[in-house]
C-alpha cells in the first residue's frame, strides 16, 4: 500500500468528479468560454456555475469575486490548449492554488482520513516483530509527505503535479521510518551474530550436549567430533 496512496486518492477523486458532474445536472448550453457565459456566471446562473465547477473554478468564483478577471483569462487560455497542465508554472496560478486547497481539504476529509487510517492499520498488521514503531513512523511520515507533496505539485502543475508530488512526498516522508527499520534490522543481525544465529535450543539438544560432554573424556577423537558438530550447528 505504501507509495500508492496519492494516485489512489486522485483516482477516487476523478471518479467522484465525473459522477458529480452527472449529478449536478444541466450545464451552460452556449459556448464555453464566451462573453455570454461569463455574464451568466456573474449573474449566478446555475448552469454557468455548473460549467465553472467542471473547469475547477466554481468555489473561487463565488468566494473571491475580485479574482474573476484573472479566472476569465485562465479559462480562455485553457480553452485554446486544453491538454496543457494548469498550475502556477503554466500561468494558471488561481487554478493551481484552488486545486492545492482541494488536495488539503480532501486529505482531512472523511475519505482522506479513512485512507490514512487504512494505511496505518495495514502497516501495523503486517509489521514484523520488533518493527512496529518503524512501520507506523514510515506510514505516518509518508501520509504527511504525500499531503505536502501533492498540494505543492497540484499548485504547480495541477493533476500531473499532484500525482508526481504525492508519490515523491510519500517516499521522502517515509524515509525516517525506513531508516529506523534498517537500524532495527542491523541490531537484530548483530544479536544473531553473537548468539548462534537462528539456533533454537530444546530439551533434546540439551540432552545430546550432556551426553556428548560425558563422552568427551573417553577419547580425543570423540572430543573433536562433538565439538565440531556443535560449531557447525551454532553457525548455520
**What are the residue ranges spanned by the domains of the chain?**
5-82, 104-187, 197-234
User: What is the pTM assigned to this prediction?
Assistant: 0.66
Burial of 200 (0-12, 13-18, 19+ CB in 10 A): exposed
Instruction: Tell me the pLDDT tens digit for each residue of 144-193.
Output: 999 999 999 999 999 899 999 999 999 999 899 888 888 877 777 766 55
Cα gap 65→228, rounded to integer Å: 86
For residue 123 the three cell numbers come to: 502497516
67-104 pLDDT, tens digit per residue, is: 999 999 999 999 999 899 999 999 999 999 999 988 88
Q: How far apart are the first and last CA of the chain?
A: 35
Helix (H, G, I), strand (E, B) or coil at 212: helix
Cβ contact 216:223 at 8 Å: yes
Amino acid at each position: 500500500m505504501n507509495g500508492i496512496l496519492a494516485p489512489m486518492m486522485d483516482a477516487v477523486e476523478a471518479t467522484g468528479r465525473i459522477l458529480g458532474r452527472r449529478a449536478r445536472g444541466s450545464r451552460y448550453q452556449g459556448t464555453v468560454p464566451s462573453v455570454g457565459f461569463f455574464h451568466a456566471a456573474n449573474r449566478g446562473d446555475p448552469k454557468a456555475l455548473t460549467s465553472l465547477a467542471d473547469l475547477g473554478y466554481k468555489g473561487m468564483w463565488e468566494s473571491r469575486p475580485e479574482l474573476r478577471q484573472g479566472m476569465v483569462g485562465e479559462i480562455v487560455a485553457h480553452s485554446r490548449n486544453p491538454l496543457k497542465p494548469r498550475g502556477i508554472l503554466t500561468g494558471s496560478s488561481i487554478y493551481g492554488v484552488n486545486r492545492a486547497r482541494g488536495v488539503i481539504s480532501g486529505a482531512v476529509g472523511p475519505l482522506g482520513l479513512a485512507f490514512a487510517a487504512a494505511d496505518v492499520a495495514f502497516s501495523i498488521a503486517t509489521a514484523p516483530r520488533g518493527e512496529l514503531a518503524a512501520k507506523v513512523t514510515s506510514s505516518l511520515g509518508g501520509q504527511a509527505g504525500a499531503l505536502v507533496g501533492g498540494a505543492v505539485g497540484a499548485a504547480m502543475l495541477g493533476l500531473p503535479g499532484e500525482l508526481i508530488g504525492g508519490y515523491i512526498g510519500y517516499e521522502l516522508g517515509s524515509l525516517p521510518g525506513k531508516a529506523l527499520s534498517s537500524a532495527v534490522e542491523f541490531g537484530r543481525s548483530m544479536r544473531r551474530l553473537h548468539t548462534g544465529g537462528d539456533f533454537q535450543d530444546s530439551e533434546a539438544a540439551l540432552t545430546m550436549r550432556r551426553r556428548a560432554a560425558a563422552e568427551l573424556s573417553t577419547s580425543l577423537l570423540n572430543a573433536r567430533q562433538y565439538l565440531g558438530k556443535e560449531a557447525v550447528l551454532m553457525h548455520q
